[in-house]
C-alpha cells in the first residue's frame, strides 16, 4: 500500500513523462508535493524504487522510468484517506516503510564477505537506504568509535566496487580479511584509516584491496 505522498509523486512523474518525455527535477517534485526539502523527495523516490514502481536509468541525469502504476484498489484507498472529514485534520502519512536486507554476520578479521552469505534478513527503515543493493553487517570491535560506529552496531552497506577518498567502506584484504575503514589513496598505495587514535592506518597495494561496499547508514539497539 502506497502512502499518499508516494502515490502523488508517482502520478506526478508519470504525468510529466507523458507530457514531455523528461523526468521532473527534484526541485519540481519538491514544489509539486509541497515538501520542505529535497531529502523528502529522495526518501519517496527510494521507497518507490524499493517497491519496484520506478527505476533510475543509469548514466543519465534526472532519468526515471515508471515501471508500473498503483493498482486500482490502492488508488481508491489513497484517495479516500486524502479527504479529511469536515472540521477534522488528517495528519500526513508516516514514512515508516520497512524493507528487509541480508544480514551477513559480524565483520571480523579473517572472514571474507563471501563467506558471510546467509539467509538471515534484517528489517530496516527504507528511509535509511538509498538506491542500489544493500546488505548489513554487525560491527565487531572499536576501531571506528570516533566515527560513531560502535561494537554491536549494524552497518548498512551499499554494494559497490568503487570508492572515493574519505568514504567509509568494507574492504576485503588479500581475499581473506574484511574490515570497515575510511578509504584513502596515498600515492601508489591505498590507506585504510581507523577512527580510533589507538589504532594505526593500514597501507596496501591496490591489488590487495577489493571494495565490497560503502557505508550508507547505521542501526543501533539499546
Would you name the residues annotated as active-site residues? Answer: 143, 181
Cβ 100 vs Cβ 134: under 8 Å: no
Cell numbers describing residue 192:
585504510
**Cα–Cα distance list, 139 to 44, 145, 174 (Å):** 29, 11, 20
Question: At a CB cut-off of 8 Å and minimum separation 6, what does 125 contact?
Answer: 96, 97, 98
Pull the grid cell for residue 113: 564477505
Left, alpha or beta for 187 (phi > 0: left; psi -120 to 50: alpha)? left
Return the SS3 of 64: strand
Residue 81: Cβ within 10 Å count: 14
What whole-number distance in Å separates Cα of residue 10 and Cα of residue 55?
11
Extract the runs of DSSP E, i.e. beta strands, from 17-167: 54-56, 64-66, 98-107, 121-125, 134-139, 154-158
Q: Which grid cell sits at 216?
A: 550508507
Amino acid at each position: 500500500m502506497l502512502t499518499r505522498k508516494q502515490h502523488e509523486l508517482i502520478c506526478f512523474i508519470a504525468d510529466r513523462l507523458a507530457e514531455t518525455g523528461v523526468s521532473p527535477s527534484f526541485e519540481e517534485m519538491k514544489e509539486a508535493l509541497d515538501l520542505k526539502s529535497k531529502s523528502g523527495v529522495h526518501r519517496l523516490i527510494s521507497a518507490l524504487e524499493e517497491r519496484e514502481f520506478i527505476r533510475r536509468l543509469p548514466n543519465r541525469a534526472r532519468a526515471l522510468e515508471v515501471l508500473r502504476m498503483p493498482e486500482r484498489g490502492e488508488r481508491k484507498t489513497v484517495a479516500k484517506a486524502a479527504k479529511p472529514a469536515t472540521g477534522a485534520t488528517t495528519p500526513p502519512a508516516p514514512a515508516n516503510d520497512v524493507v528487509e536486507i541480508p544480514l551477513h554476520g559480524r565483520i571480523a578479521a579473517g572472514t571474507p564477505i563471501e563467506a558471510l552469505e546467509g539467509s538471515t534478513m534484517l528489517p530496516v527503515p527504507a528511509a535509511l537506504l538509498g538506491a542500489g543493493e544493500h546488505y548489513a553487517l554487525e560491527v565487531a570491535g572499536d576501531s571506528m568509535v570516533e566515527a560513531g560506529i560502535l561494537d554491536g552496531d549494524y552497518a548498512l552497506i551499499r554494494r559497490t566496487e568503487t570508492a572515493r577518498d574519505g568514504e567509509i567502506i568494507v574492504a576485503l584484504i588479500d581475499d581473506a580479511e574484511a574490515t570497515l575503514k575510511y578509504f584513502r589513496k596515498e600515492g601508489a598505495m591505498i590507506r585504510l584509516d581507523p577512527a580510533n587514535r589507538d589504532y594505526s592506518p593500514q597501507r596496501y597495494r591496490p591489488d590487495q584491496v577489493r571494495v565490497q561496499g560503502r557505508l550508507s547508514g547505521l542501526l543501533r539497539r539499546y
